[in-house]
């Protein structure tokens, strides 16, 4: 098969011929029809993820068709169109038994713990536990775009953030995950403030329903601006970028007993930012993480999309080939593009 491959971190990935994968006893092999390009893939390529063993094939946002199944797989035999969470639960550990497969103790992550989907084929373990059948009306491109952005945003806004109609929600960082969070919060009836330093990203967020936009480069005190707009602070604030600045600004943007959700990954050298703990204590703030989403929660998100309340296709900005993906991956930290880049030609 053709696959995008690197042998050293920060080495420009290149397309080469690799062995076709075979399914594990509990796994399947998918023919990849679409794969999303995500900043998490860039973090992995930079060497920030300890789960990656070199050499490596990246890619964790995917959709495709089952072409082979292991002997223990019961629900899939071949020909099914599916997607998969980027965190796959084993199905038997304590967290999986409690329904929290997104923090499985033995999790399988395509593109991180194993070779990923920037290739013609990809092997997925724990298939019965994790594969999500696609609605007939959903394209592979739309399904692939859900993988890390919409599902992480959905869990952050809906499950962890407990969004309610009329609630003020601040989204710090309007890349793919941030814009997904804007769309989901608006669909839930929230009033959304979009924060970024890129006017194009902010304009896109307003187009997706954000009520207020704040350019962080042009605003001297972002938290104070949010507190003034909302009359005391946001009830829910999310750092969808992942930096010490956006994390702290998000926490300081909250009203009393508000909730901060950390979605964006912080760079290795910035992974332990100073937290303004005094307001956390005095205002009884909640600080939570959001790490993917379980397969059994997909129907709620798919329902939002099928009803038209969330127009996932509007996030598409570029469709590229596998041969273009190596350069596109290496350039991700330059933030040249808003929205989602999809690999749809292998």
| 28 contacts 47 by C-beta, under 8 angstroms | no
Q: What percent of the chain has pLDDT over 70?
A: 98
Q: Which residues, in sequence order, are CB contacts of 226 under 8 Å at separation 6+?
A: 170, 193, 195, 214, 233, 234, 237, 253
At 248, which helix (H) or strand (E)?
A: helix 244-252
Q: What is the domain partition of the chain in residue ranges?
A: 2-134+311-345, 150-289
CATH class entry, domain 150-289: alpha beta
Alpha-carbon dihedral 291, 196, 63, 134, rounded to 10 degrees: 80
Which region among 241-250, 269-278, 285-294, 319-328 has the lowest average model confidence (pLDDT)? 269-278
Across the strands, what pairs with 76?
A: none
Query: Is residue 261 over pLDDT 80?
Result: yes
Helix axes 39-46, 322-330, angle to 10 degrees: 70
Instruction: Identify the sign of the CA torsion 93, 96, 98, 103.
Output: positive
Query: Is residue 338 over pLDDT 80?
Result: no
Amino acid 40: pLDDT: 86
Distance, in Å, from the CA atom of 28 to the CA atom of 195, rounded to the nearest integer, reads: 41
The first and second tokens of residue 210, run together, are: 């954000």
Query: Which one has a higher pLDDT value, 321 or 264?
Result: 321
- pLDDT tens-digit profile of 110-125? 999 999 999 999 999 9
Q: What percent of the chain has pLDDT over 90?
A: 86
Amino acid 107: pLDDT: 93
Amino acid 266: pLDDT: 82
Query: Is residue 268 over pLDDT 70?
Result: no
Distance, in Å, from the CA atom of 42 to the CA atom of 62, rounded to the nearest integer, reads: 16
Query: Is residue 235 over pLDDT 70?
Result: yes
Helix axes 176-187, 298-306, angle to 10 degrees: 80
Query: Is residue 39 over pLDDT 90?
Result: no
Q: What's the pTM?
A: 0.90
Amino acid 197: pLDDT: 95
2-134+311-345: which CATH topology? Answer: Quinone Oxidoreductase; Chain A, domain 1 (3.90.180)
Mean pLDDT, rounded, of the chain: 94
Query: Is residue 48 over pLDDT 80?
Result: yes
Distance, in Å, from the CA atom of 224 to the CA atom of 231, rounded to the nearest integer, reads: 10
Amino acid 333: pLDDT: 79
Amino acid 339: pLDDT: 64
């Amino acid at each position: 098969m053709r696959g995008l491959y690197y042998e050293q971190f920060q080495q420009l990935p290149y397309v080469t011929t690799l062995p076709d994968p075979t399914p594990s006893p509990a796994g399947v092999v998918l023919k990849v029809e679409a794969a999303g390009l995500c900043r998490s893939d860039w973090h992995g390529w930079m060497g920030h993820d300890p789960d990656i063993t070199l050499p490596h094939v990246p890619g964790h946002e995917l959709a495709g068709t089952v072409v082979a199944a292991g002997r223990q797989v019961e629900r899939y035999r071949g020909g099914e169109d599916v997607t998969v969470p980027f965190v796959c639960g084993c199905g038997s550990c304590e967290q999986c038994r409690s329904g929290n497969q997104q923090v499985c103790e033995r999790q399988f992550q395509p593109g991180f713990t194993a070779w990923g989907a920037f290739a013609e084929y990809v092997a997925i373990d724990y298939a019965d536990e994790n594969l999500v059948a696609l609605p007939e009306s959903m394209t592979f491109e739309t399904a692939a775009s859900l993988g890390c952005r919409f599902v992480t945003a959905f869990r952050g806004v809906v499950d962890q953030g407990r969004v309610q109609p009329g609630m003020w929600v601040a989204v710090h960082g309007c890349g793919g995950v941030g814009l997904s969070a804007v769309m989901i919060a608006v669909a839930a009836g929230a009033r959304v403030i979009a924060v970024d330093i890129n006017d194009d990203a902010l304009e896109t967020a307003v187009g997706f329903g954000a009520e207020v936009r704040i350019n962080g480069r042009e605003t001297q005190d972002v938290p104070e601006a949010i507190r003034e707009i909302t009359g005391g602070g946001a009830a829910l604030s999310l750092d969808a970028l992942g930096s010490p600045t956006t994390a702290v600004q998000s926490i300081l943007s909250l009203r009393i007993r508000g909730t901060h959700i950390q979605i964006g990954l912080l760079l290795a050298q910035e992974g332990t930012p100073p937290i303004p703990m005094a307001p956390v204590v005095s205002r009884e703030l909640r600080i939570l993480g959001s790490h993917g989403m379980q397969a059994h929660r997909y129907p709620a998100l798919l329902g939002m999309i099928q009803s038209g309340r969330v127009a996932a296709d509007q996030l598409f900005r570029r469709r590229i080939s596998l041969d273009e993906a190596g350069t596109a991956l290496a350039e991700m930290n330059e933030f040249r593009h808003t929205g989602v880049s999809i690999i749809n030609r292998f």
